[in-house]
Each structure stands twice: as structure tokens, then as C-alpha cells.
Structure 1
């Protein structure tokens, strides 16, 4: 345990070295707790120098200790009895799980029990969760909330490049870029400690293009803001591609030698009409040309995408089109040039590499690939035939729950009742479950529905590795003992496996011992961690994957000479212009888009427990243009009703001239009657199964107490 305790004259000091549990930058910090006899402890938070954030912390990181040390932590296993939670022992909890899961699987089959994970779990816990599902439960149903974060970019990267890693190069390359495209990413609020990279790039002459339906801190930094209509990012990229082609701003040598698919893409682009694209996207032809020429003429350039592009029902194809932009100009595999999928969750990158996704095994192997199955089965000491087949995506698991094909569910480190689209449907399904187990550190909206709650440790207590947005594997050391009877995620999984008679496969004594097996299970895979060890991580402050051998330095920049496909070439494809699956109408005349705010994180379970963060944003809100607000008779700062065909929420109105007049914005961090996902669209991308969070049709009206009372009474 990494801690230093000093005691002197009634004053004790605890020094905790750790890293922020929130976004994908994973900033390092030191927390100092000072206690004086008879007084409340005082906390000081100091950022620690590190290669990613360069010793910066944002407001979330500065106050992250508050949720970990809150009096609201879950401290004991609790079983629901007569609608109330009562404290039970761990042995009673494990016996209940064994009895319930065994009975359900005996009556309805192995796949009647599913597992739902989270993108903030350590690599060790994510790895073990996949192994637990497939060996201890023998179920095919596992997925995680990272499906809602990175699946579009991950699928696109795998198909275009043969590999998915958040950034194809280091963060340090940003200030070497002469043009930067920020598509659907609000770094100023979501990853604020990265902003100096972009401001330094500007100081060195970089031209920055931001694509977003709203004016944000990120767009205000940019030289050009393309205020795109929600859901039309792929079409906007088509417009830029057409300009590049028409103006001869392509790297012909790179395209011929290192890519395939150009002829088909060229024929597609030649048929497009820029005026039609301008009409579709809401971005004038002049600005589309300005953006394309800036990127095409720049000697180096980087393209970043995030949820604004990816959380669409065509998110996969939208990202593919931005990758076309990168490949057509040859801006990848060299200093100052590359692509970055800006990961949202703390371990959104590592969480999907080692088996939490329905179709994956450790090392980014595929569960449907015979060689991959054989390799991992050998590491685990089972026959490949014992591995279940591929399951379904996160939202589709909720559909299986609703249909009662899944009758028991184990949720670890996630809050699906708030994070899934069409949340009323999800809640109805969860209430149908015969048995719901939730392992978490705090009482979430999902945990409130559970039959059994298991208390898990927080980031200050739980050692393990996480992989940041660059693909840099970092070691987060534990700094204080677990409170109450809370256990580490991996301990809980090992002990349940023992109760289910599968203990011989889960004989781990530490997070490091799990990582040693993970190294072996990932060896030779796309996400090869074999050369990474805890000793290296302690000495080197992080190692990039792929790292196939202990003496390998780790791949800081990908695709310098070849791509990860067998033929070494990247793939370009034509992307059609098309509208989002749900369109506005007379009944639902406005587009709704969702996103984040600076002080909150994901579904708010942690940040809403921080008094410093909660005080800055005490409730959700709807951002709306003043002219649109007047049209629908809603007043600034007043409560409003926001409806889609799926449901209703009540939020505070906030006037803003920084948003399109046809669009409203609501953040995603609140639950209950402010849960925006009660109204978002559950339609899925056909390739990656990402829900269309970023676009749905809504109507807004003034708050009426009668409507609110009627809604709450349902």
C-alpha cells in the first residue's frame, strides 16, 4: 500500500499517491490528509508531474477524493427484504448468489444469467469479469457501458487500420500539427487538462477546426467552427473530401502505396454535390471549402473524433469518413499527423481490450475466431468448446432482460438504468429480473433496484492498471485501506467463482497476479501487453501497447510504415449521405443532442456525491436558443417539460445563443425525472451497435405542475 503516515503532537498526516478516476487522460495526483485530534480532516490535492497531463488537474480531479471519502459509501453487503435493504454477511451474500444463479441456469439455461460491466474498471477487473462470465457462469451474455463510449471509433479503427487504439500517436505530437480537426469533441469540458496541447499548437501556427452543433469552450478556441446539424457529420466529411479531391489535395503516393479502396471512394465523391451537402449539414459551402483547404494544404495534421460523431446510428460510417480524410491526405504515421478517438471513460480503452465486450477475448482477440478461442482457452486451462459463443451489445442485453431471456444479472461498476437509451424501457426490464446483483461503491439508481448489493472499493483503495486515451498503460497504486467490509472488484469475482465451484481458475492473490495472467492471455493479440510488467510501470510511468516483449519500448506512434491488416494497407470506403433514423416532425419539431458538463462525469453517481462539484451544477438543464424558446413559450431559468415518443423529463431552461435554433442540448449526468436517456433513441448502429444518443426528435413546453404530478404518479 503506497502511503506515508506522519504523527506529531496530535496531528497525523496521510500522503496518498494516486491518479484521477474520471476521464481518459488519467492525471496523476497526490492527496494529503491532515487530521488534528477533535477536528475534521483537511485535504490538500496536488497534481503530480506526468507525461499525459504534464502535471495538471481539472476541477473534477481536484475534488475526486470527496466521493471516495463520503459518508454515503456502501460498506456492507445488503439484501433487499420486503422492499428494504438489510445488512448481511459476505458468506450469506455469496450463498444467495450461488443459490439464485444456479437455480436460474438450471431452469432456463446458462445464458439466463448475464454480466454488465463498466469502462472505469481496471484492466485486471475487466479481464477477470470476462473470464468470470465465460468460465464461472458459462454464459455468453456480457457487455459493458463502454459500448456507449467507444464502439463506433473502435470498429472503424479496426476496419480501416486493422487496429483500434485511441490515439495513433502521442499527445506530444499535437503541437507539431499544422491543422487539427476536432469533430464532435468538447475537450475544454471533457478533457480540460489536454487543452494546453492545442493552445501550444495554435501558438506554433496550427489552424484548428471544430465541428459541433453548439458553441463550446472548444469551439471558441478554434479558428473555424462548423455548426453542423445534429447527425450530419458523415455528410460534412463527404463535403470536405470532395473539395480535397477536386482541388488535387491528396497524397497520391501514400494512397497508391499504403491504402486500398481509392477508386470506389473517388467515384463516389465525384457524384456528390456541395450545395446539396451544405443543405443537409447546415454548413455553408464556403465554410466547408475553407475547412477542407486548411486541412488539405497543411504539411501535418490530426483528426480527433468523440461522442458527437460516434454516438449516432451511423457512427461507425461517420468515423470511417473522417478516417478517409486522414488516409486521403496521408496524414498518419509521422510526427504531427494521425488520428485520435478521444476516449470518454477512465479505462474506456483498456476496458474493451480484454474481454468485457460481447465479441472479444483478451488482447483484442475475437471470440468467434477459432485460433483466438484456442489460444485463450489454453491460457485458462479449458477446452475451446467450453467457451460460450458471442453475446449481444449492451442495449441489446437490456432487450434480452425485458424479454426475460436474461433472468439474472450481475452489474459491476455501471449504472445501466441511467446510461442506456430509452431508459424507461430499461427500468421496466430490470424490474422483471428474478435476481439483480449490483457491485458498486455508492448507491446508484440501478443499485436501488437490486436484490443484492455488494460494496466495492474506490480508486484510492484499489490497485490496478488503466490504459489512457493514448494507449499508455498506467499503474494506479492503492493509497488507503478499504472502508467497512468493502472488497476489491477482483476479490468479489474470485470469491463468487469459488462458491460456484470454479475456484481453481481464479486463484489470484493480488491485482498484479491477475495482470501476469492478462499479459499471457494478450500475448500475440492486437492489444499485446506481454512486455508490460508492474515493475516497468513503476519505473517508466506508463508503457504504450502493443508491447510484445519485456525489452520492447512500447509503440508510441502507430502505422509509420505499415498498417495492421495482413496486406499492410489501410482501407478507404465510400460513405453515403443519409439522415438520422429519427427525424423532426410537426409533433416533435426539435433535435435533441446530449453531452457532458465540466463538473460532472457519466451518470453522476460519483460526482454528484462531491459537495464541491454538486454545488456548481445542482440540477440538469436544457440549453435552447432564445428565439426558439420564445416560439415555444418557455422562459429562461424556468422548469420545462421535454418529450419524445419514448418519455418525458423535467429540466431547467437555459437560454443560449451558442446553439443552433433547431436544436436543444441536455447533459447526461442526472437520473430520475432529469434522466435525459428516458427520451433518447434506442436505435442502434448496424455495425457497432452504438445507440443514437446524439439525435432524437423532441418537443418542449412550459412546466405544468399537473403534468409533473401525473408523470411521477405513473
Structure 2
């Protein structure tokens, strides 16, 4: 690690985990970080322009930091602990942010379980190979072909993409994304048919003797069962359900035969009730081809970035936990929200907002967001530029370090400071020394052991959306924008439709699902599949349409498990 005291880790929720450095009052991309490679991405640049909260607010009136802490303390002391909810978002993914959980666990708050993001996919991969660890990024660099599956790689992982931008790409996605336009082959499959495509690929691999028998015999269990699933229906039937021509699948196998192949998996494939099964089918196809454990290539998803590290804030407790995908905020007397924006990002916005109105809401974060409208008490968190931290990446193995490069706003408080304040007030044991924690994460190099056995999925029970779809229905799809990150930065609240829908630019429409409805303004874009409704993640109205429910295996959200209808307003 460099001894310079000017390093800045980007705290945002994206694969690259950039590292910047402060030079003469300006932050530039760090050259000592292999992935950042001296360049700042759009999101990091946008973050540096954000206006941070300057003061605490109580019921809309400015108060001092001390006053806000006293109000929080009084509220905690007068509320039954189990009737308080500790709810964290992903506004800051630095490791020090988890320090507050230590207090709320000891205090006895209800916690959340599951994920609004990657839970189903992670559960599917873990079921097959015991952990969710990405291969070293050098294996991506050394691959010949990169299959981008349900992930807009050049937008969501711009630094990683720059390392491999001259490779040959294949994209599998219902939307003609930026990376799809750069790809040799784009398979524009129907939503929630990715598992069928994986089974079809497995069938083709077997017909062309391309399966990796050595890998299967040494590491695989259940491969024959998996293959049997793929051959229990006519090959031609896959063409009708997936929307992918068999001729394109032939072209795909011509392209990948004998090549070193990497698969970049995104969130899009697993935003469904059976998301774990869908992901496990794709990972099983990769194993059938022997893409794991090769000198180059492999499968990348959202890695368990903390794997191999010992938690420095030891958190033990038997706290009640509620699914983050169906949190009933109304059932709590006190809701403490840290770095999150559930009013926009959680499923079924109408129920979320009604629940927030019925509780005492504390918001702790750096900037105002939509959820602050429902907050009784707002406490400013210190800027990431004013606190020490370490950021581990879920996209690659490199870490980013943060030093204090800007003086702290004295009206703000860091997560570590708030946790220690509350621990002391309740006579709980205080946290480990901050520098000790930072030093451990900065200097520890985990042993990322590869799996010993790969368990192929042997049974698939997935209910396709196309079974219930009528000519009046549309599939619902969300994805990241290159100009924003979820509900941060530039707002894009339009709905994007294909021109064949016969709607027009700037039409006012009402979109409805069985969970709710909302009004949108139309933008026509023929990159969208004709039977899809597309919205960018962070669209303030998108989650009025999504299920207030969890997937089958990971207590996680399943945003795309829905069909919608559109009518002119």
C-alpha cells in the first residue's frame, strides 16, 4: 500500500470500487489502483458534485448536531427495542459503515434480512459451489470471448470494461444495451427465459461434443441429471419460448468453440421468484463447458467481497429479522434508516410510504433524498472525504483505501462516531480502535479458496411469465443508467417503449400491475424489446408496480416478477 495520505475510496454501490487521490485540492483517478487506472468514472465525478447535508433537522426545523443526538437517544430509551427497525441501504459501501449495526444489534432492534439487489443470484451460485467468489480479474483479461448476460457491462463496470474493451463480446439481454451494440452476437431473449437458454446451450454443447468431461468427472456431481433436464423437450420449442433463433445459437457455438470464455452475469437474470434456480442453471451450463477452474475465463457475478476477512465489528445477537423485500414500516414505532432510500428503491412504493408515515423515522445519511420527506429526524453523516474507510469490491479482488482529505463538517457525525456515542450512552462495550480496524482490512490478504465440488442443478421448477402473458401485457424491466446510480444523481422518470406499441413521445400513460399503478411520460426507443416496458433503476414511480414479496430462497426482492398494462392517461 502507498504511504500517501491522499487516497479516497469511492463508497458507491457499483462493481468497480474506484480509488481516487487528492492532488492540489482536486480528486483524480488513482494510478496505483489497477482497475481505476488513473481515470474517474461518471458516477465518481457526479458524487464529487453532490451537495451534502449541512445540518440536522427535526420536523423540518434546523437544529444542532447535539440536539439531534439527544432526540435520538431519548427516542431509543423510550421505545421498546424490538419495536425499532435498523434499516441500511447501499448509499455507502465502505466497511466502517457497518459499525452502527453493532449498537442496534446489542440494543435489540429488529434487523433486516435478504437483499434488494443480488440475493437470489447469489443463493443460486452458492448452492452450486459453496461460495460466491469471482475469479482473479487477470482471467477476464486473458479470455478470448466475453459473454455479457443480463448486465450492461460497459455502463455498470466501466473501469473493468476498459481493461477488456477490445475483446469479442456476446450479449444476452432483452434490451439492446450499449454493450449489445458493441457485441458480435446479441441474443434478445424474452424476460425470465434465461434458464431455458442455459438449458438449450447445454443441449447444443452435448450434441456437438463440447462438454468438458474432465471437469465434470473431477469436480461435478449431478451433471447427467442436469443434462436430462435440457433434453426433456424438443429443441425447436426453445426458439418459441426464448425468442432466440436456433440459427443464432449455432452462430454462438461456432464463435465460442475452442475459445477461452468469460461470463459476466448481471442482476437482470435473477429479479424473479425463482431467481436462484435461474442463476444456478446458467452457472451449471458454465460448469458443463468447463469454464470454471481454467487458466483464463470463468464466471463473474457480485462476489462476496468480505469472504476471507474476519468481521472487525463482532456482532452477536438473536434479534428478530424481517425480509427487506417486504418490510412493513408501519409495524415499528421507530425506524432508523442509514444511507438508504426505501421510498423509491424498496418494492411497492405505496405500502412503503404509508408505512413510513405511521412511524417515527430517523434518516442518517449524507444527502437529502425522497425518503427524507417522511423523516421526523435527519442527522447528517460525514462526507466520505472526511472519514477513514476501506472499500472491498464485489467485482474484482482489488481494494480501495480512504484517508481524511477534507476537514469534517462539525455538524455531521461519522457512522463509527455515532456507534461509539450510542454504545457509551447505553453502557455497552465500545468499538475496536478505528485505526486497528482500517489497518486489518487494508493489509489482510484473504485466502480465496476455489470450490472442491460443483453441484449441478438437478431439478428445475420455474413458472415462466410468458404462460400468463396476454397480448395486452408487457414485461417489466429495470436497469442502471450511465448518468445515475439507482436513485442518486440525474433523475430519469420516463418509461421507455418500442415504437411498435403505437404510443408516442411525451404521451402521458398509466401503467398498472396487480400490485399498483403509476403515471409516466413515454419516450420511444427501439432498443427496447417490443413487448417490454423499460425504466431506469431509481425511477421514482417504478416501484408502485412491483411485488411486496420475496423470492423463494433468499428473502430478496423480485422486481421483475410482474406483468403490466399500459393505457393513455
Paired position in structure 1 for 2:44: 61
- SS of the equivalent of 1:55 reads coil
Aligned counterpart in structure 2 of residue 275 of structure 1, from 236, 247, 251 = 236
Q: Which runs of 4+ in 1 moved over 4 A?
A: 31-34, 43-47, 580-588
1:698 aligns with 2:564: yes
The CA distance in 2 between the partners of 1:325 and 1:459, in whole Å, is 41
Deviation at 1:149, TM superposition (A): 1.9
8 A contact 1:148–1:311 mirrored in 2: no
Paired position in structure 2 for 1:130: 101
Query: Aligned in 2, Cα 1:472/1:272: closer, same or farther, shift over 3 Å?
Result: farther
1:168 aligns with 2:135: yes
The CA distance in 2 between the partners of 1:577 and 1:197, in whole Å, is 38
Query: Aligned in 2, Cα 1:180/1:598: closer, same or farther, shift over 3 Å?
Result: same
How high is the TM-score relative to the length of structure 1? 0.73
8 A contact 1:77–1:453 mirrored in 2: yes
The CA distance in 1 between the partners of 2:36 and 2:95, in whole Å, is 24
Once superposed, what is the RMSD of the aligned Cα atoms? 2.9
Aligned counterpart in structure 2 of residue 393 of structure 1, from 320, 323, 336 = 323
Deviation at 1:49, TM superposition (A): 4.7
Query: Aligned in 2, Cα 1:322/1:101: closer, same or farther, shift over 3 Å?
Result: same
Paired position in structure 2 for 1:423: 349
Deviation at 1:627, TM superposition (A): 1.1
Aligned counterpart in structure 1 of residue 499 of structure 2, from 626, 637, 654 = 626
For residues 88-138 of structure 1, what are the alpha-carbon distances to aligned partners after superposition, in whole Å with 9 as ceiling and x for unaligned?
A: 334433333233233321xxxx42212111334345334323322322x22
Query: Aligned in 2, Cα 1:496/1:88: closer, same or farther, shift over 3 Å?
Result: farther
The CA distance in 1 between the partners of 2:94 and 2:307, in whole Å, is 8
Aligned counterpart in structure 2 of residue 229 of structure 1, from 169, 190, 205 = 190
1:113 aligns with 2:38: no
Paired position in structure 2 for 1:335: 295
The CA distance in 1 between the partners of 2:522 and 2:22, in whole Å, is 37
Query: Aligned in 2, Cα 1:115/1:467: closer, same or farther, shift over 3 Å?
Result: same
Larger deviation: 471-480 or 285-294? 285-294
- SS of the equivalent of 1:313 reads coil
The CA distance in 1 between the partners of 2:283 and 2:383, in whole Å, is 37
Paired position in structure 2 for 1:599: 483
For residues 651-673 of structure 1, what are the alpha-carbon distances to aligned partners after superposition, in whole Å with 9 as ceiling and x for unaligned?
A: 332212222111120112232xx
Q: Which gives a bigger RCO, structure 1 or 2 (Cα 8 Å, sep 6+)? A: 2
The CA distance in 2 between the partners of 1:619 and 1:3, in whole Å, is 41
Query: Aligned in 2, Cα 1:44/1:263: closer, same or farther, shift over 3 Å?
Result: closer
Aligned counterpart in structure 2 of residue 314 of structure 1, from 274, 286, 294 = 274
Deviation at 1:581, TM superposition (A): 5.8
Query: Aligned in 2, Cα 1:117/1:174: closer, same or farther, shift over 3 Å?
Result: same
Aligned counterpart in structure 1 of residue 509 of structure 2, from 633, 637, 640 = 640
Any stretches of 5+ residues in structure 1 without a counterpart?
Answer: 5-14, 35-42, 203-207, 344-348, 355-361, 365-375, 517-531, 537-542, 548-554, 608-613, 704-714
For residues 572-623 of structure 1, what are the alpha-carbon distances to aligned partners after superposition, in whole Å with 9 as ceiling and x for unaligned?
A: 113536344697656952112111110101112xx2xxxxxx4xxx642222
For residues 143-191 of structure 1, what are the alpha-carbon distances to aligned partners after superposition, in whole Å with 9 as ceiling and x for unaligned?
A: 47xx1222123222322111122x2222x32232123221100012222
Deviation at 1:16, TM superposition (A): 5.5
The 5 A counterparts of 1:253-402 are 253-292=214-253, 294-295=255-256, 297-342=257-302, 349-350=304-305, 363=310, 387-388=317-318, 391-396=321-326, 398-399=327-328, 401-402=329-330
The CA distance in 1 between the partners of 2:472 and 2:419, in whole Å, is 46
Paired position in structure 1 for 2:33: 50
Deviation at 1:449, TM superposition (A): 0.8
Deviation at 1:465, TM superposition (A): 0.8
Query: Aligned in 2, Cα 1:591/1:456: closer, same or farther, shift over 3 Å?
Result: same
Paired position in structure 2 for 1:539: none
Deviation at 1:33, TM superposition (A): 6.2
How high is the TM-score relative to the length of structure 2? 0.91
Query: Aligned in 2, Cα 1:274/1:149: closer, same or farther, shift over 3 Å?
Result: same
Query: Aligned in 2, Cα 1:391/1:237: closer, same or farther, shift over 3 Å?
Result: same
Larger deviation: 85-94 or 262-271? 85-94
Paired position in structure 2 for 1:522: none
Query: Aligned in 2, Cα 1:454/1:95: closer, same or farther, shift over 3 Å?
Result: same
- SS of the equivalent of 2:216 reads helix
The CA distance in 2 between the partners of 1:334 and 1:120, in whole Å, is 36
For residues 470-515 of structure 1, what are the alpha-carbon distances to aligned partners after superposition, in whole Å with 9 as ceiling and x for unaligned?
A: 143321222101224111112112212222232xx224553x3344
Paired position in structure 2 for 1:669: 538
For residues 356-410 of structure 1, what are the alpha-carbon distances to aligned partners after superposition, in whole Å with 9 as ceiling and x for unaligned?
A: xxxxxx858xxxxxxxxxxx99x67xxx7xx2156233123x13x34x1x33221
For residues 244-272 of structure 1, what are the alpha-carbon distances to aligned partners after superposition, in whole Å with 9 as ceiling and x for unaligned?
A: 12322111121111121223213222313
- SS of the equivalent of 1:513 reads helix
The CA distance in 2 between the partners of 1:475 and 1:327, in whole Å, is 35
Paired position in structure 1 for 2:58: 79
Query: Aligned in 2, Cα 1:178/1:507: closer, same or farther, shift over 3 Å?
Result: closer
1:442 aligns with 2:367: yes
- SS of the equivalent of 1:429 reads helix
The CA distance in 1 between the partners of 2:333 and 2:543, in whole Å, is 23
8 A contact 1:139–1:388 mirrored in 2: no
- SS of the equivalent of 2:126 reads helix
The CA distance in 2 between the partners of 1:18 and 1:602, in whole Å, is 22
Query: Aligned in 2, Cα 1:579/1:285: closer, same or farther, shift over 3 Å?
Result: farther
The CA distance in 1 between the partners of 2:469 and 2:128, in whole Å, is 36
8 A contact 2:9–2:400 mirrored in 1: no
Paired position in structure 2 for 1:493: 419
Give the total of aligned pairs.
566
8 A contact 1:113–1:407 mirrored in 2: yes
